[in-house]
Structure 1
Amino acid sequence: MTKTILFLGSTGGVALSALRRALNANHTCIALVRTPSKLTALFPSPPPANLHIIQGNAHDVPALTKALVSPSNPSQLVDTIVSSIGGAFNFSNFSIDDPHVCERGIEALVAALKQTRESGATGRPNIVVVSTTGITKTGIRDVPLLMVPLYHLLLKQPHKDKEALERRVAESGDRFTIVRPSLLTDGGENAAGVRVGVEDVVKGEVESKAVGYTISREDTGKWIFEEVVQGEEGRWDGKAVTVSY
């Protein structure tokens, strides 16, 4: 069964990887982007017929309300939201250009969902957000010991933003899946596959553990598409899933 999927942060990285696969599987895909030409340049001309591009900022509530409904039925919310928005890392201060980019994004998304429902749209989309390893509150380490200083000292500010993202999406009242990749790389698919660790966010319990150094953005998007978008409905609801090599 095809779905209607909203992609945020789709001009590169994880969301772009998932978007390409969703388009190839004939899902209806909506991409909210600030500069549409950056996205269309990544596809043959003309772009796929099942790709609907809306110009706007993922922090802008009015733009999000337009993107949250099915192109063929404005009274119906999208089935899935895949968000991998983030900022550019600044090595001079070990922070990102917008220290609250993820927090502001999820706040805007939750507000837009509320407004869209108040306008009469129905549906309960699964919100899939890309977070990071190293911020679990269970006390069980999910990063290699050698990388603990990097995660907890050098990446302290970006991780605060991811913590706010996770907290707000878990409190939203909507379906959600948190994906926590290891340190992201620009490589392609890994023939050896992806290892998965699962945390039940509601219960605060670790169901399985996966500790690794890196994973590519390509494979992270592939996992999101195959497991959350195409996979068993509801399997990853309320879970924080570590993906790593």
Structure 2
Amino acid sequence: MTQNTKIILFLGATGGCGLSVLRRSLAAGHTCIALCRTPSTLLTKLDTPNPPPNLVLHTGNAHDPSAVFLALTAPVDTILTSIGGVFTFTGLTIDDPHVCETGMATLLAAIRRRRAEVGPAWRPRLLVISSTGHTGVGPRDTPLLMVPLYRGLLAVPRRDKKAMEDLLVGEGAEEGWTVVRPSLLTDGGSGRVVRVGVEDPGGRRVERSEVGYTISREDVGKWVFEELIEEREPGRWLRKAVGLTY
């Protein structure tokens, strides 16, 4: 168990990357709050009929301002959002083409509303799961062979995640955020070395470029937990967009 426990709000905890971070955070003794449309789905994925003592479940939608505000209690010091849409081959789109953009707008508004109540000193750490394929500066962050996939089949979710990042870098510029951009996600874990590219979106410069094809959801969660929840090097990834790949 970690000595410095945190209070972490999870949005999108039933998804692969978010679930991986949640499992590790619970095991480390952090207090975890999860906003879920169907909490029983999360418990099933955690393989338990009842929530562990350090998991607080809220029923609601990450697009509902009231639900997000209620889950965002003032003691929360870290927020992880990993929400996303369900891809459909009909029209090559997702069930909500603005799922990430709307979720970020809702979250930023809830943070401002809660801060107005508790005071300006409350500055929760904001961790955002995005994807590669839309770096704003420098060279492309996907292999040449993957470009048609991102610009064709994945064009709609790619635009949505880009809009989400634009909101964060613009409207949320003063928040303590880190954007995580994994390459194409796979299931399972590998134990392979994770390469990390680093971009400074605010300063519009690439600090280190790493281009790769895939990475597992489990390994993304492991990296996020170790580097951003446990913070082996506090402040190292603040206001950076980090690209994760094998």
For Structure 1 versus Structure 2, the TM-score category normalised by the shorter chain is over 0.9
- Larger CA deviation: 128-137 vs 99-108: 128-137
TM-superposed CA distance for 1:46, in Å, is 2.9
Match in the other structure for 1:239: 240
Output the amino acid matched with 2:57: I
Q: Distance in 2 between matches of 1:240 and 1:93?
A: 30
Q: State the match for 1:196 in structure 2.
A: 196
CA RMSD of aligned residues (A): 1.2
Letter in 2 for 1:168: L
SS at match of 1:138: coil
Correspondence for 1:34: 37
- Normalised by the length of structure 1, the TM-score is 0.93
Task: Give CA-to-partner distance per residue, 1:42-71, whole Å, 9 cap, x none.
Answer: 2323321000101110011111111111xx
CA contact (8 A) 1:78 1:123 kept: no
Unaligned runs of 5+ in 2: none
- Of residues 27, 49, 53 in structure 2, which corresponds to 1:49? 53
- Give the distance between the partners of 1:77 and 1:204, measured in 2 at CA: 33
Aligned twin of 1:142: 141
Question: Could you say which residue in structure 1 is the equivalent of 2:185?
Answer: 184
What's 1:217 paired with? 217
Give the equivalent residue in structure 1 for 2:90: 92
Equivalent residues, number? 238
Higher mean C-alpha deviation, range 141-150 or range 37-46: 37-46
Which amino acid in 2 is paired with 1:132?
A: S
Rounded to whole Å, the distance in 2 between the matches of 1:25 and 1:209 is 32
- Where do 5+ consecutive residues of structure 1 fail to align? 70-75
Q: How does 1:163-178 map to 2 (within 5 A)?
A: 163-171=162-170, 172=172, 173-178=174-179
1:2 equivalent in alignment to 2:15: no
Q: Is the 8 A contact 1:77 1:124 kept in 2?
A: no
SS at 2:118's partner residue?
A: coil
For 2:176 and 2:137, the matched residues in 1 are separated by 21
User: Which secondary structure does the structure 2 equivalent of 1:54 belong to?
Assistant: strand
